[in-house]
């Protein structure tokens, strides 16, 4: 099993499998988080097909997708569902320095893009095979969806934070990131615990947990139960 997939055209494609979860562990080959797929090599595409990938959920804006389109992969559906306003773009692609409260951005996604998050969860639940969701860097929008999935599986808060933090390590190896860091504040490339902890606190104080948040925004109970069954491998025991 792979934690980070050995793809040549991405830096941050990771499987959500292997975390201790309710009544088991998160399942492998069910959900992948990733940065942009625009530079996938032919061998990467073949690898993803062998990995039983059937569905891609692209969290980027229309402008981002037009600028860096994802290659067509035979047998794989691609669903564009932007998690931020079309006028905002990716915060990690800004050309001018900006002091931005990342936690506030993530909370804004949760509160302002409820219909999109509902569609994302319904698409994931309905998909056969492995689902890959991604944005540009695989940090912010992707991190929010990964957080919701892992909490839905009842993964420990420390593990959810650790999954988020790993992004910075992998992005640091991307030469394009090194170029961007010259023009934007370094804080925007970090995946620090203090960026995600307030979001988890917001979920707990406002909705109790991810399950109740998703029910509140209109995701059906049977959809969430099915999604949990895909997320969790109950056969994993100590």
Q: What is the DSSP string of 117-166?
A: HHHHHHHHHH--SEEEEE-SSSSSHHHHHHHHHHHHTT--HHHHHHHHHH
* pLDDT value, residue 176: 62
Q: Where are the domains of the chain?
A: 14-230
Neighbours of 209 (CB within 10 A): 14
Run means of pLDDT, 10 residues per run, the chain, 238 residues: 94 97 94 97 98 98 95 97 77 46 90 98 98 94 98 97 88 63 53 82 97 99 98 79
* pLDDT value, residue 95: 43
H or E segment to which residue 54 belongs: strand 53-58
- Give the predicted TM-score (pTM) of the model: 0.90
* pLDDT value, residue 22: 84
* pLDDT value, residue 183: 47
Q: Which two tokens stand for residue 98?
A: 């900006």
Nearest Cα to 224, choosing from 118, 97, 66?
118
Nearest Cα to 92, choosing from 83, 100, 103?
100
Distance CA(70)–CA(236), nearest Å, equals: 34
14-230 CATH: 3.90.190.10
* pLDDT value, residue 238: 53
* pLDDT value, residue 195: 86
* pLDDT value, residue 236: 67
Distance CA(238)–CA(48), nearest Å, equals: 30
């Amino acid at each position: 099993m792979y934690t980070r997939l050995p793809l040549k055209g991405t830096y941050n494609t990771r499987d959500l499998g292997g975390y201790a979860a309710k009544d088991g562990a998160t399942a492998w080959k069910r959900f992948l988080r990733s940065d942009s797929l625009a530079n996938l090599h032919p061998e990467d595409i073949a690898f993803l097909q062998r990995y039983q990938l059937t569905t891609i959920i692209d969290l980027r804006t229309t402008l981002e997708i037009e600028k860096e389109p994802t290659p067509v992969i035979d047998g794989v559906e691609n669903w564009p569902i932007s998690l931020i306003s079309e006028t905002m773009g990716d915060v990690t692609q800004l050309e001018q320095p900006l002091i931005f409260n990342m936690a506030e951005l993530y909370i804004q996604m949760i509160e302002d893009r409820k219909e999109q998050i509902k569609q994302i969860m319904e698409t994931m639940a309905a998909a056969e095979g492995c689902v890959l969701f991604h944005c540009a860097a695989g940090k912010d929008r992707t991190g929010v969806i990964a957080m919701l999935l892992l909490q839905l599986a009842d993964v420990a808060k420390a593990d959810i934070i650790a999954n988020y933090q790993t992004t910075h390590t992998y992005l640091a190896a991307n030469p394009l990131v090194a170029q961007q860091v010259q023009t934007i504040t370094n804080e925007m490339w970090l995946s620090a615990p203090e960026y995600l902890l307030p979001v988890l606190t917001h979920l707990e104080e406002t909705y109790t947990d991810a399950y109740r948040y998703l029910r509140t925004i209109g995701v059906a109970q049977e959809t969430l139960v099915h999604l949990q069954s895909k997320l969790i491998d109950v056969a994993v025991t100590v």
